[in-house]
A = this chain, B = another copy of it.
Amino acid sequence: MAKKKLNIAMIGYDFMGRAHSNAWRQVGRFMADLPYEPVMKVVAGRTEAKVKEAAERLGWEEYATRWEDVIARKDIDIIDICTPGDSHMPIAIAAAQAKKHILCEKPLANTLADAEQMWKAAAKAGVMHMLCHNYRRCPAVALAKQLIDAGKIGKIYHYRGTYLQDWIVDPAFPRVWRLVKSRAGSGSLGDILSHTMDLSRYLVGEPVEVSALLETFITERPLPDNPSKKGAVDVDDAALSLVRYDNGAVGYLEGTRFATGRKNYNRFEINGAKGSIVWDLEQLNDLQLYIEEGPNSGFRTISVTDGKHPYVGAWWPPGHIIGYEHSFTHTVYDFLCAIAAQKLPSPSFEDGYKNQRVLDAIERSARDGKWVKIE
């Protein structure tokens, strides 16, 4: 029996658009129990030549140059927002008002106020809303969540989450849009620390207080269009924060683009009363697990590639690893399941708002040089 079709419209078609398109194409091929057949109906972008080319390359039936037109269409069920953060709010609110289900790239918005509006609008509209913190859907992270919820590592004392990259260490690297506050909202804080913050909220608890520093090591860089001129970098190159959680755990979170040699080193270590868990995105199929059971205990490396592990049954036999983009496929899978069940997925826009609230507190803490409570 054929599955019911849901029509997708994607806004934006850059890096994240590529990853989301792949997910929409692949999800039905591998997830046998997918509740719908997603139809890649239309992709929207401002520049016609580019969006047309993208539609063809990425597999969208149609393209459009105005996102407003796309949202206005009756036949569209889902809006998938892949644009930079400064446009998330208007698109999401319009989509909510048009009663579309919404999947939105992170960060939810560039300001806390925007994020709150988006959450309220989506909640009021009664649509399903989800923020694409795709790393929650790496099988090893999902397994970590299962193990923690089952009490395997006991009460949590420590979270250390460091997301390290190095793509702008070279001072000659140009001032791209991600280095401009008005476009990107923030630097490594919103781009990558936001991921490790989301992971800590997922795995550990709610932050209640932060003390942070933000640092911009290189304060001006060549302009992309005119390298002979320099422009100011007004976002953080590195963000470091101490965190206290509601359950008494203490944490350290860091995002930096100045860790030479670390390409995409999104690592966390969680220490609990009975064990510990370590994960690193660069080896995303592995989970390190320590369970205290006497002198012969040790950190074991679990290859999270067994059919009984989360999501993995859909793919290959044990020991056959999956890649970065699979986390997006798992995300849209869970999103479609949530629509079918009419049960909000996680992270929802509420999570996005709460995450943003902590990032906002981190910015204020760094600015004022003091601890800031989350409230």
Q: Which residues of A contact B (CB under 8 A)?
A: 15, 19, 21-22, 25, 29, 32, 57-59, 143, 147, 153-154, 157-158, 160, 162, 164-167, 169, 211-213, 215, 217, 238, 240-242, 244, 248, 250, 252, 254, 256, 258-265, 269, 271-276, 281-285, 287-290, 292, 294-303, 305-309, 315-326, 369-371
Contacts and interface: CB of A to CB of B under 8 A. Distances in A.
Nearest to A250: B215
A258 B303 contact: no
A250 to B, nearest CB: 5
A323 B327 CA distance: 12
A237 B167 CA distance: 37
A265 to B, nearest CB: 7
Q: How many copies does the complex hold?
A: 4
A161 to B, nearest CB: 11
Contact of A318 (B217, B263, B283, B316): B263
Contacts of A273: 169, 260
Contact of A261 (B164, B261, B292): B292
Contact of A301 (B215, B298, B317): B298
Given A57-B29, A213-B244, A302-B298, A317 B157 contact: no
Contacts of A15: 317
Contacts of A302: 295-298
A282 B250 contact: no
B292 A272 contact: no
Given A157-B169, A256-B271, A296-B302, 17 more contacts: A15-B317, A158-B256, A158-B259, A160-B162, A165-B319, A211-B369, A259-B271, A261-B271, A262-B271, A263-B305, A263-B319, A264-B305, A288-B298, A289-B296, A294-B308, A295-B306, A322-B324
B242 A213 contact: yes
Contacts of A317: 15, 167, 263-264
Contacts of A217: 157, 248
B369 A153 contact: no
A318 B271 contact: no
B303 A153 contact: no
Contacts of A158: 238, 256, 258-259
B321 A324 contact: yes
A276 B262 contact: yes
Nearest to A241: B242
Contacts of A306: 295
